[in-house]
Amino acid sequence: MKLKGLTLFLICSFIFSLRTSAQQETVYGHSVADGQAGNCYFSIGQPFAMQWGDDSFLFTEGVAQAHLINLHFSTDTCEGEGYSNICFQYDAQTLPGVYRDSCYRHAATRGYDSVLYLSLNIHPVYARYDTLLFYDRVRGNWQEGDNVIAGTTVFGCDSNRYVHVIVKPFECGDPLYDDEDNIYGTLEIAGACWTKENMRSTIYPDGSKIAVAVIYSSPNAHDTTGNLATYGRLYTWYSAVNIPEGSTLPPPYDADFDSLVTGICPYGWHIPTLEEFQALASYGADALRSTNLWLQPGTNSSNFTARPAGNYNPVNQRFENLLGKTFLWTTEPVNQYAYTTQIRFSCEAPLFIPEQKSAAFSVRCVKN
């Protein structure tokens, strides 16, 4: 608590009946103002002096002057801490707010009194409580269990965030989050856990930018926001498996699974192999296609929900085949080509055809 200031106030202890008003006079270096009947004049540190119109003077000794010494104190405290002073007290249950109180400390023998004025600001303690649920791995600096992020306000009050982190094994059917917090449904099919939607991410799991991650756009389908939400993005094979465009390098394999390629998929997931796509063939194209959007809708009895996302053709330099076909990358390269799984509105079964690696197609992910 800091002393903000000391101010001397004078309160007259006697009331004088004035017969006439007097003009302002200066007596012993002090101003004396006009007075009306029932008012009184005062000065500081010397006898009271009043000059009347007939040049007579009235003196009153300083002992008769009641001097009020006014002490101002201001302090800050935080909710739940409590505060006490000589004359007043606040307990830990006092609500946040600004409180002002005063009390007389003592009465002096010569008429001098003092009073304390307290301005007390009780500031709230800012605390936020969250529970975060992660699957398989702890993200960033979060640790499983209780986490506390502490801060301090300008008032010295704690500003804490309490976070309880739960990490549980991923179960197929749970939502999958990529590193941009896009959310994908998942399903169990053909002995593996697949995403039910095409990828929409523009960054790899390490945070680096994906070179080619485009959205279908054409004169007849120019709503890129809607196209992104419905069909996801289109990626070159190079970008899908995370190697430089035009590179002859093999795709990098997962550190724990030396035959799987993470690519643009979240950690713990991978770009499907040709064999994993071939395992879907027994369902037939009709069972894999969604029940809307296609020129010839499917039954989607498999719940795979393949949508006719089309592709980008680098030779013709245009987007093509929306509503009629979807192309999904595999990790199987063949020289300057790589195998795709193609589902078409007019074919009864999926097709497995190599395409140029520089073309842009859709990507699904499979859990490791």
CB atoms within 10 A of CB 85: 15
pLDDT band at 68 (very low <50, low <70, confident <90, very high): low
| Mean pLDDT value of segment 67-94 | 77
14 and 41 in contact (C-beta within 8 Å)? no
Cut 0.75: pTM above it: no
In the numeric block, the tokens 């119109």 are attached to 53
The answer to whether 116 touches 7, Cβ cutoff 8 Å, is no
Q: Does 119 score more than 90 pLDDT?
A: no
Asked whether residue 213 falls in the same domain as residue 225, the answer is: yes
Report which residue type is found at 107. A
Q: Does 48 have pLDDT greater than 70? A: no
Domain ends where: 168, 189, 222? Answer: 168
Q: DSSP assignment, residue 286? A: H
Beta bridge partners of 192: 189
Q: Distance (Å, rounded) from C-alpha 352 to C-alpha 183?
A: 28
Q: What is the mean pLDDT of the chain?
A: 80
- pLDDT at position 133 is 82
The number of folded domains in the chain is: 3
Give the closest residue to 307 by CA, choosing from 367, 244, 221.
221
Mean pLDDT confidence for 356-363: 98
Residues 291, 142: one domain?
no
pLDDT of amino acid 33: 37
Q: Which long-range contacts (CB under 8 A, 24 or more apart) does 243-250 make?
A: 244/211, 245/211, 245/212, 245/358, 246/358, 250/333
- Indicate if the pLDDT at residue 4 is higher than 80: no
Is residue 22's pLDDT more than 70?
no
Percent above pLDDT 90 for the chain: 50
For 162, counting Cβ atoms within 10 Å of its Cβ (0-12 exposed, 13-18 middle, 19+ buried), the class is: middle
Same domain, residue pair 114 and 236: no
Q: Are residues 351 and 312 in the same domain?
A: yes
Same domain, 118 and 192: no
**Residue that finishes a domain, picked among 143, 168, 193:** 168
Domain match, 160 and 307 both: no
**Does residue 331 share a domain with residue 283?**
yes
Q: How far is CA 85 from its chain centroid?
A: 40
Pair (184, 330) in one structural domain: yes
Q: What is the mean pLDDT of residues 304-321?
A: 97
| Greater model confidence, 286 or 66 | 286
Weakest-pLDDT range from 138-142, 319-323, 329-333: 138-142
> What's the pLDDT at 123?
87
User: Between 164 and 61, where is the model more confident?
Assistant: 164
Same domain, 360 and 233: yes
Q: What is the pLDDT of residue 3?
A: 31
**pLDDT(140) > 60:** yes
Model pLDDT for residues 170-210, shown as the tens digit of each residue: 899 999 989 898 999 999 999 999 999 999 999 999 999 99
pLDDT at 69: 59
Instruction: Looking at the structure, tell me whether residues 143 and 184 fall in a common domain.
Output: no
Range of the domain at 358: 176-367
The answer on 156 and 91 residing in a single domain is no
Say whether both 56 and 97 belong to one domain: yes
